[in-house]
A and B are shown apart, each in its own frame.
Chain A
Amino acid sequence: MAVSNDLFVQMNKEILHAEAIVRPKLSFWQGAWLRLRQNKLALGGMLIILVIAILALIGSSLTPYSYTEQKLLDSNQAPSAEHWFGTDELGRDVFARIWYGARISLFIGVMAALIDLCIGVIYGGLAGYLGGNTDNVMMRIADILYGIPYLLMVILLMVVMGPGLDTIIIALSATGWIGMARIVRGQVLQLKSSEYVLAARTLGAKVPYIIRKHLLPNTLGIIIVQVTFSVPTAIFAEAFLSFLGLGVQPPLASWGVMANDGIPSILSGHWWRLFFPAFFISLTMLAFNVLGDGLRDAFDPRQRR
């Protein structure tokens, strides 16, 4: 059988590129943002947090009243065009107090979360990275601290140090960092023994490079999620401490203090004094939790499509 040239056809060159990746490459952050954007609930939570944060900054200048100004003649006024959220038993404008309280409550939440973040990441990262006996001892200590009932310790610290903004933050973060440390340590431990870190090390990558390029970016997602959850936890705990009389002291006002002051008003019919602080505590809790859930889904690599 004769083999002639016309038996052969030139190969379609496009087949060569069939294996090429068609979709544009997405970085970790772009992918996460893309997934988060599709989650309407999480976006709503983010928007609410943003609005509350902005109002905390400028809200008190929207009314002519200050959060301390007492007008005893105007006490317990219902919400009206004059006082948008009504007034309390000392005639203070609730609207002005809510946004002043938002500042205090958010400050406590964010500060406590940031301190948790710093201590937790360093402690957990060190334990996970060093491994071996150091890790064993460090985590055993954390385990024992974790076993201590959290609110009891906070209450005890508050009683000893006396109520105040700084003591609340210290007391809340004294036990709050352990959750973060555990999570970071687990993630670092897992990443450290993963193939691509091994590969990087085989190729001669230095330790700082591995930490910067592999460990940190891959832990950041979990850390952000954890922070998102620890802000509302701190705000909630502050409300709880306020109820026990261990919250911030007058003339400072937080949402927790205001809600606690407003409890008797529910029987006297001045519902706005409990409703507004309770509403904003709940709304903030909700927004942060929804955002945290959304972020967790967005960062979870298993969700990658």
Chain B
Amino acid sequence: MLPYIMKRFVSMIITLWLIVTVTFFLMHSVPGSPFDRDGKALPAAVEKNLMALYQLDKPLSVQYVSYLKSLVQFELGPSIIRAPETVNDMLGRSFPVSAKLGAVALTFAIIAGVALGVVAALRHNKLIDYVATVVSVIGIAVPSFVVAALLIKYMAVEWKLFPVATWGTWKHIVLPALALSFGPLAIIARFTRANMLDVLTQDYMETARAKGLAPWVIIVKHGLRNSLLPVITLVGALIANVLTGSFVIEKIFAIPGMGKYFVDSIYNRDYTVIMGTTVFYSILLIFMMFVVDVLYGIVDPRIKLHKKEG
């Protein structure tokens, strides 16, 4: 197990370094200085001072090394538009909001998705199975901003059940979390249903029934356990899904989370913030995938055997 974790860890570090490098050089290959606004150049002296302030006058290699150095200390740099605020300040303020929204959405997606998938498999080709198929098809085919717009229209404006936008009480979380969880929910339901159908035909299910176990014990202990293992591999992709989905959802619901800052920084061409946020997102995502991979190896004992053989 340990060599496997080490191998994954090393490749994670290389991936991160690559992302940081690519991001850095991409950002610096943008023509013109970051202080050009709408084609209007700043007075030469002002620009020179600004360049010195952000260390943009040094050679690229020096900037790169100092960027890597500050990154190791987890300093993501200043914002050019919102100076003197730094990217760290912004992330410190917005990350808890996004994390809360993402956690609620992901939890809901996993619970509802697994439940829907299991029920659909148990009632194969019955009404609930078709309902589950329709839900998963809609979840995959309809863009999240359309779902969000519909939720606002009906749940908030027409029926006034929840607030239209912004952030605060638990009521504010419901609509964005629903909109955000719709896609992942559909993917989980589809995957769980397929796995469960597969597991239901296995011999050990027959054996369990022959032993006289109660139906729910068979389903939970033998069926669910075996059909959920592959679902864990999905979690990494789902976190990415929720993360990128949050750009759209936070923008629509005016939630002061990371996604909204990221989108705003794209609109404003605030390069240091774009760079800092991309790097932060990448670290978060890649670390999550690393954790999921390692967890999967621990949860599923068959993995270790495969590693030894290979």
- Residues on A lying within 8 angstroms of B by beta carbon are 140, 143-145, 147-153, 155-157, 159-160, 236, 239-240, 243-246, 256, 259-260, 263, 266-267, 274, 278, 281-283, 285-286, 289
- Chain B contact surface mostly: helix
Report the minimal beta-carbon distance from A164 to chain B, rounded to whole angstroms. Answer: 15
B149 CB contact (under 8 Å) in A147, A156, A246, A266? A266
Please tell me if the beta carbons of B281 and A289 are within 8 angstroms of each other in the complex: no
Known A155-B266, A159-B266; contact A149-B281, beta-carbon cutoff 8 A: yes
Q: How far is the CB of A128 from chain B (nearest CB, A)?
A: 17
Q: Please list 16 pairs of residues, one from A and one from B, whose beta carbons are closer than 8 Å in the complex, sorted by A's number.
A: A147-B11, A147-B15, A148-B22, A149-B281, A151-B240, A152-B281, A155-B278, A160-B26, A244-B263, A244-B266, A256-B143, A267-B153, A274-B149, A278-B146, A281-B141, A281-B143
- B143 A156 Cβ-Cβ under 8 A: no
Chain B, 18-38, CB within 8 A of any chain A CB: 18-19, 22-23, 26-27, 29-30
A267 touches B141 (CB 8 A): no
Give A239's nearest chain B residue, CB to CB.
B143
Residues of B within 8 A of A285 (CB): 140-142
Chain A residues within 8 Å of B252, by CB? 263
| Inter-chain contact A148/B282, CB cutoff 8 Å | yes
Measured between beta carbons, the chain B residues less than 8 angstroms from A256 are 143
Given A236-B143, A245-B267, A282-B141, the answer on whether A144 and B240 have CB atoms closer than 8 Å is no
**Per-residue contact bits, chain B 231-273, to A (CB 8 Å; 1 contact, 0 not):** 0000000001001100110011000000000010011010100
Q: Are A282 and B142 in contact (CB under 8 A)?
A: yes
The 9 closest A-B pairs by CB, nearest first: A285-B141, A147-B15, A282-B141, A278-B146, A286-B141, A151-B244, A266-B149, A160-B26, A282-B142
Given contacts A152-B278, A160-B27, A246-B266, whether A266 and B150 have CB atoms under 8 Å apart is yes
Q: What separation, in Å, do the CA atoms of A184 and B194 have in the docked complex? A: 24
- CA separation between A281 and B143, bound complex, in Å? 8
A274 to B14, CA, bound (A): 43
Q: Decide if B173 is an interface residue (CB 8 Å cutoff).
A: no
Shortest distance from the beta carbon of B12 to any chain A beta carbon, whole Å: 7
Task: Tell me, rounded to whole Å, the shortest Cβ–Cβ distance linking A45 to chain B.
Answer: 11
Please determine whether B282 and A149 come into contact, CB atoms closer than 8 angstroms: yes
Contacts of B263 in A (CB 8 A): 244
Residue of B nearest to A271 (CB): B153
Contact B146 A259 (CB under 8 A): yes
Q: How far is the CA of A246 from the CA of B149 in the complex (A)?
A: 20
Residue of B with least CB distance to A260: B145
- Chain A, Cβ-Cβ closest to B30: A160
A157 touches B26 (CB 8 A): yes
Given A147-B11, A147-B12, A147-B289, also A152-B282 (CB < 8 A): yes
Q: Specify the chain A residue showing the minimal Cβ separation from B243.
A: A149
Within 8 A of A (CB), among B256-306: 263, 266-267, 269, 271, 274, 278, 281-282, 285-286, 289
Residue of B nearest to A157 (CB): B26
| Cβ contact of B26, chosen from A144, A145, A156, A240, cutoff 8 A | A156
Given contacts A147-B286, A149-B240, A157-B26, contact A278 B12 (CB under 8 A): no
**In the complex, A143 Cα to B293 Cα: how many Å?**
14
Once the chains bind, are B157 and A267 in contact (CB under 8 Å)?
Answer: yes
CA distance A212 to B150 in the complex (A): 51
B143 touches A266 (CB 8 A): no
Which A residues lie within 8 Å of B289 (CB)? 147
A286 to B140, alpha carbons, bound, how many Å? 8
Contact check, B29 vs A160: say whether CB atoms are below 8 A apart: yes
In the bound assembly, the distance between CA atoms of A266 and B252 in angstroms comes to 13
Chain B min CB distance to A113 (Å) = 17
Query: Assuming A147-B15, A148-B19, A160-B29, is B141 touching A245 (CB within 8 A)?
Result: no
**Residues of the A chain whose Cβ atoms lie less than 8 Å from the Cβ of B285:** 149
- Whole-angstrom distance from the CB of B180 to the nearest CB of chain A? 14
B42 interfacial by beta-carbon distance below 8 Å: no
| 5 extra interface residue pairs, beta carbon distance < 8 Å, beyond A144-B11, A147-B286, A150-B240 | A140-B11, A149-B244, A149-B285, A159-B266, A160-B26
Closest chain A residue to B247 by CB distance? A244
Give Cα A59–Cα B27 distance, bound, in whole angstroms.
41
Cβ-neighbour of A243 out of B18, B22, B248 (below 8 A): B248
B177 at the A/B interface (Cβ < 8 Å)? no
For the complex formed, measure the closest distance between the CB of A238 and the CB atoms of chain B, giving whole angstroms.
Answer: 11
**B152 interface hit (Cβ, 8 Å):** yes
| A171 CB, min distance to chain B CBs, angstroms | 11
Residue B137 interfacial (CB < 8 Å): yes
Closest A residue to B281 by CB, please name it. Answer: A152
User: In the complex, what distance in Å separates the CA atom of A260 from the CA atom of B143?
Assistant: 10
